[in-house]
Amino acid sequence: MTGPLREREDAHALLTAEAERARAGAGRLVLLRGATGTGRSAVLEAAAAHATHLGLRVLRARCSPDDIALPFSSVLHLLGSVPEFADVGPGDDDRGSAARLWRLLRSYADESPLMVAVDDVHLADEASRRWFVEAARRIDRLPVLLVATERSQYDIDPRPAGLTHALSPSVVRTHTLAPLTDDASADLVRAAFPTASDRWTADCVRAGAGSPLLLHALLDDLDGAPPPTAVPRTCAALYPGSYPAAVSWWLDSAGPATAEVARTLAALEQAEHTQQTEQAERAGLAAERAAERASEREDSAEREGGAERAAGVERAAGVEPAAGAERAAGSTARNAVPGSRTHARPGPVPGPDTVTGTVTVTEAAHASLPATEAATDALAALVADASGADPARVSGWFTAMTRLGVLRPDRTGRPRYAHPLLRDAVLGGWSPARRQDAHRAVAQAMLRRGDHLDAVARQLLGSAPAGLSWALRVLRDAATVAARAARPGDAVRYLRRALQEPLPDDLRQRLLTELGSLEYASADTPAGIPRLAEALDLPAEPRDQVRTAIALGTALVGRGEVRTAVEVLRRLEGRLAGHPDLARALQTASALLSDQDQTVRREAYRWLNDTAERSPELVGASGQALLVRYAATAGDLPAQEAMRRLRTLLTEPADPLVEPFLLGTAAAVAQWADELDEAERLVERGLAGQHPSLLHPMEQALLDTRWDIAAARGAYGTLLAALPEAGRARRTGGSPVNADAHTLLALVETGRTPQARRLADTFDLRDTPDSWELNRFLYARGVLRFTEGDVAGALHDFLECGRRQSARAVHSPVVTPWRTAAAECRLALGNPQEALALATEELRLARVWNTPRTTGRALRVLGRATRGRRGLELGAEAVAVLRDSPAEAELVASLLAHGSQLTAAGERGRGRDHLREGAERAERLGSVRLLTYAEQALRTAGGRRTTPAHTGSGALTGSERRIAELAADGRTNTEIADLLHVARRTVETHLTSAYRKLGIRRRGELRGVLED
């Protein structure tokens, strides 16, 4: 009793007192009750040893279910060991046999005081049980201590009444052995492993679940892998396997119904654990990335003038300074960067298997929380439905196991296994087929009670294919939900499982197309392309074949195989002679995908143009829209005419397969034409029509246009909200994408030159395949090099960008104004004539397109190259052209250039006015690069800045004031967007900026501050 037994002092004291009482001639029955594994047998053995020490003769019997068929079997185990009574056995008369056995016991008692130790009396045969009860009534005047152990665990199938239910309390003393406390369990762990850390010890304590049996078995298994080796989460890592054997014995003693419930709960938890682990990994990755961005901002602030100034710049750019990973992680979801369709979603709730080190988050923070009745009953109903048990008994079992420590409540109050190892051991008693059946049963029970599709599908992932229509429907619907929620990994798993079901070819073709698209989107390109190719070979409706071909072509282009992609589409087009609308969709897709290769692009547009001239109806609205875009980039079409044609095309009815091409093309051209609000509406409309599980080239094109719109607005904060990892992941070989170019430019503009350099150095452009995105990145890297002072390097990048664009017949400055950038490099290098030629050609092309942005930029650079009075006139014209345009950054650059021109010409007063205005606008825009230049130019001109209005109603831009006034009048964001013909996102952005400048938090405060 004093050895390894813990927290059994009360039992020891009781048995010691009763042994002394028996020595004095007064016997009694002592019943030791407890759950399986609580150490009843160990306490009984310790009591027997102590009784022997006191001089009592000990008679022992261990009851077994194998002896139930023989009456008085358990009693004979007690008495048959004495030779002179070895021939005593039961006769035909049970009452007579009982009497003879009683006389035998009395003869033992006459010789010396006795202790009769009966282990597991609940397994005794019925005759022996009656004899023990009758003996308990009669030994009060004999020197006999009868000690019996009895299992008292709550089971699903109710157990028969206990040994003492018919006895008076005066003739029996009952003691219930409680499970070990965490402190006692920890003492046992430290005794076995003295060097164990608190964390490792706590992990063992939870796996032991308050049971001496399980804890000792676990410590035996861990003897070969002592700390600091982590406590395993699976029984496969244990040797020699004492722990799973102990758990199996514990379940066997509870009966088949209890074992079924226990394992069903384990199967349910296993599926939930997989989901929680994946959610935790996603949340951890998002937090890690957010922390990295926050760290980069702080480092940049320290290097470039202090955190305070950097914070001011970020606010001016529309980004709140980060205050740690938590705020940064939140801002990631709020800002929804261009190029991402991810929506803000609540973070995962940690479950009992969300592991931090070796102690789970929920266990560490919530182990002491009581399980709520509602949560327990809801889970009990589910497990009962899946296992065919009584819900009330299941609920009671949950409560009992929670009291014992086998289950522990999570933060929602739901009981769960105390440790993943315990859950794994419970589930290990089932064959794979039985586990699969359990997962299917749980899924069906969840579906009946209306659980979320995701939860039902998680269970089906562990089930075997059974050809059940409801299972296939759940998996498909869950895949769609996951794809819409930007969880392609989950959608991929659901579709892979769905494809294991018996399917007709047409349905298999559609599912393979979705799966291949999602695998590619989740960066599993090697798996995605073969899936799509397999889908294209299956018989299907022509429309489904077209969807598959477009998805496969998109994936091939992403891998750099542009010609192969176009050939795939053309082969299918040749088989669609009777479907002209579908053929047009393939033609449009071919032209769009060819943009990634200049040779294929020339061929595609030559064919498209020739066909349009002969038979315009053959190319359709989407093909004509692409030709408008081609003419715009070639410098052959004014912006006003381009928009007129596209708006006409948009009014025509469009096939759902073709409409995305039309919307995406129109959005790109509208952005070039500075119709930014219209472009934004077209982007949102196009993205809303995208199927979440189908790969489509226009989805990325629309996301790229969203980046272009943000850049055109000078929304540097939006551009810098997150780095475009997802965009880069779609390219093999580390090729830069459009988002990289915009991010690089935004970093330069906001003064984060070191970060911009790190991003630029990420890519080795020497072997990068040709693409329009490479040209964008060359231009952005040229701007970085010019800012760093490497003018020759910048000129090389600009000229290379121009060479590549000219080879693609892209001459207009609407895409990248490489000529004006190269002209500024020529001026810096002292080559004004070459700069003049470049700027003159840029102005000619800009006047063809005829938007303030392109024209004003060309006029600015040409004015600097021309110099003299004519140069001043051109500079003034640039400012005038840009005054009412949305090109705020170009206006700032023109104000600063013209201010410097005026100062150099001796008109210092007018020059300083332009420079001050440019400085104020640059600060409001968030352009540190332009602001730094403005301050230097002002010092050179002998002036200084006036203090601008950073806050208050005077700091609002015209658009911000107009939207704020409408909001103050009670208009909703949707109403304001409809009234001003802008996107709802634009309204929200302007209102957020207005709130910050006005120092308010609520809409109701607008009226008061605007009137002040």
CB 268 within 8 A of CB 443: no
Q: Is the pLDDT of residue 760 over 90?
A: yes
Q: What does the alpha-carbon distance between residue 715 and residue 722 come to, in Å, rounded to a whole number?
A: 13
Number of C-beta neighbours around residue 369 at 10 A: 14
150-162 pLDDT tens trace: 999 999 999 888 9
Q: Which residues contact 905 (CB under 8 A, 6 or more apart)?
A: 872, 911
Rounded average pLDDT over 802-820: 94
CB 702 within 8 A of CB 664: yes
Per-residue CA distances from 250 to 34, 254, 602 (Å): 13, 7, 75
Q: Among 865, 843, 864, which Cα is nearest to 855's?
A: 843
Q: Is the pLDDT of residue 827 over 90?
A: yes
Mean pLDDT of the chain: 85
For residue 844, count CB atoms less than 10 angstroms from its CB and return exposed for 0-12, middle for 13-18, buried for 19 or more. Answer: exposed
Question: What angle, rounded to 10 degrees, do the helices at 562-573 and 580-593 form?
Answer: 170
Rounded average pLDDT over 661-681: 95
Q: Which residues contact 605 (CB under 8 A, 6 or more apart)?
A: 591, 594, 626, 627, 630, 809
Rounded average pLDDT over 741-746: 94
- Residue 778 is encoded by which pair of tokens? 């060359």
C-alpha angle 264-270-272 in degrees, rounded to nearest 5 = 110
CA neighbours within 13 Å on the CB side: how many for 466?
Answer: 18
Residue 472 vs residue 303, higher pLDDT: 472
Query: Can you say whether the dihedral through the CA atoms of 597, 602, 606, 612 is positive or negative?
Result: positive
Q: For 438-458, b where at least 16 C-beta lie within 10 A, e where not — what string? A: bbbbbbbbbbeeebebbbbbb
Is the N-terminal amide bond of 228 cis, ω within 30° of 0?
yes
Number of C-beta neighbours around residue 581 at 10 A: 15
Rounded average pLDDT over 673-677: 95
360-371 pLDDT tens trace: 333 333 344 444
Q: Is the pLDDT of residue 298 over 60?
A: no
Residue type, 199: R
Helices (H) and strands (E) in the chain — how many of each? 48, 9
CB 713 within 8 A of CB 675: no
Per-residue CA distances from 56 to 10, 21, 53, 117 (Å): 21, 11, 7, 12
CB 792 within 8 A of CB 829: yes
CB 696 within 8 A of CB 656: no
Q: Is the pLDDT of residue 590 over 80?
A: yes
Residue type, 42: A
Name which of 318-327, 475-484, 800-809 the model is least confident about.
Answer: 318-327
C-alpha angle 209-212-217 in degrees, rounded to nearest 5 = 90
Q: Work out the pLDDT band at 336, boundaries 50, 70, 90.
A: very low
Q: Among 812, 864, 832, which Cα is nearest to 673's?
A: 812
Rounded average pLDDT over 601-622: 83
Beta bridge partners of 364: none
Judged by DSSP in three states, 676 sits in: helix
State residue 317's pLDDT score. 32
Segment (H or E) for 776: helix 772-788
- Residue 961 is encoded by which pair of tokens? 């004031």
Segment (H or E) for 30: strand 28-34
Judged by DSSP in three states, 590 sits in: helix
Per-residue CA distances from 163 to 58, 59, 149 (Å): 21, 19, 10
Which of 286-295, 327-336, 678-687, 715-724 shows the highest mean pLDDT? Answer: 678-687
C-alpha angle 480-482-484 in degrees, rounded to nearest 5 = 70
- Residue keyed to tokens 């799966």: 515
Q: Is the pLDDT of residue 168 over 50?
A: yes
Q: What does the alpha-carbon distance between residue 740 and residue 775 come to, in Å, rounded to a whole number?
A: 12
Alpha-carbon radius of gyration of the chain: 40
Name which of 47-56, 734-743, 890-899 the model is least confident about.
Answer: 734-743
Q: What does the alpha-carbon distance between residue 299 and residue 984 come to, in Å, rounded to a whole number?
A: 35
- Residue 371 is encoded by which pair of tokens? 């399980």
Number of C-beta neighbours around residue 849 at 10 A: 23
Q: Work out the pLDDT band at 278, boundaries 50, 70, 90.
A: low
Q: DSSP string covering 961-999, please?
A: HHHHHHHHTT--HHHHHHHHT--HHHHHHHHHHHHHHHT
Q: DSSP string covering 383-451, please?
A: HHHHHT--HHHHHHHHHHHHHHTSEEE-TTS-EEESSHHHHHHHHTTS-HHHHHHHHHHHHHHHHHHT-
State residue 822's pLDDT score. 97
Q: Is the pLDDT of residue 660 over 80?
A: yes
Rounded average pLDDT over 433-445: 95
Name which of 342-356, 424-438, 589-603 the model is least confident about.
Answer: 342-356
490-506 pLDDT tens trace: 999 999 999 999 999 99
Q: Work out the pLDDT band at 65, boundaries 50, 70, 90.
A: confident
Strands 359-360 and 355-356: antiparallel
Is the N-terminal amide bond of 227 cis, ω within 30° of 0?
no
State residue 486's pLDDT score. 86
C-alpha angle 701-672-687 in degrees, rounded to nearest 5 = 30
Residue 321 vs residue 503, higher pLDDT: 503
Residue 393 vs residue 295, higher pLDDT: 393
For residue 138, count CB atoms less than 10 angstroms from its CB and return exposed for 0-12, middle for 13-18, buried for 19 or more. Answer: middle
